[in-house]
Amino acid sequence: MDTATSDIRAVEFTPSRDGDSPVLPDLPGQIPVDENISTVTADGAYDTKRCHTAILARDAVPIIPIRKNGRSWKEDCPAAIARNETLRATRYYGRAFWKRWTGYHARSRIEAKMRCLKSFGERIAARDPDRQTAEIHIRIALMNRFNALGTAEIVHVA
């Protein structure tokens, strides 16, 4: 998701029996190479070498909290070096400060956006995988268009 415009930029859906972290390395490929990706924010489930490597390959900064029992990785690649820096920072400053410092709170906006996507319907109507993909892309295009129209301004009236 583009945090400046709240547009969903890349999407991949998985069956409920599969994990999400194996598909993250393919997501940056959906964004054109000439477009800059500054950060990628994800939860602790994405704390894998494949995910960190894919994010760093696009010159982006991974904002992924280290798991509670996380240990440092052998520093044999740039992904391990970056992840170990995150580990050192969270141990030194604490998780709460690290989350504020890195802007990890943006992840909650992403989760809210996924809730909006699910409000179009919890289930996918199409049965064919290609049509399912098209259905998801249509839902995302609608949401992005709604964002372009603007958000409501809520004013408290006494």
If you average pLDDT over residues 11-17, what whole number do you get?
73
If you average pLDDT over residues 17-36, what whole number do you get?
84
DSSP string across the chain: -BTTTTB--------TTS-SGGGGGGGGGGS-TTS---EEE--GGG-SHHHHHHHHHTT-EEE-PPPTT--PPPSSSHHHHHHHHHHHHHHHH-HHHHHHHHTTTHHHHHHHHHHHHHHT-SS----SHHHHHHHHHHHHHHHHHHHHH--PPP----
Q: pLDDT tens across 65-118, in order?
A: 888 888 888 988 889 999 999 999 999 999 889 888 888 877 777 777 777 777
Q: Is the pLDDT of residue 49 over 70?
A: yes
Stated pTM of the model: 0.71
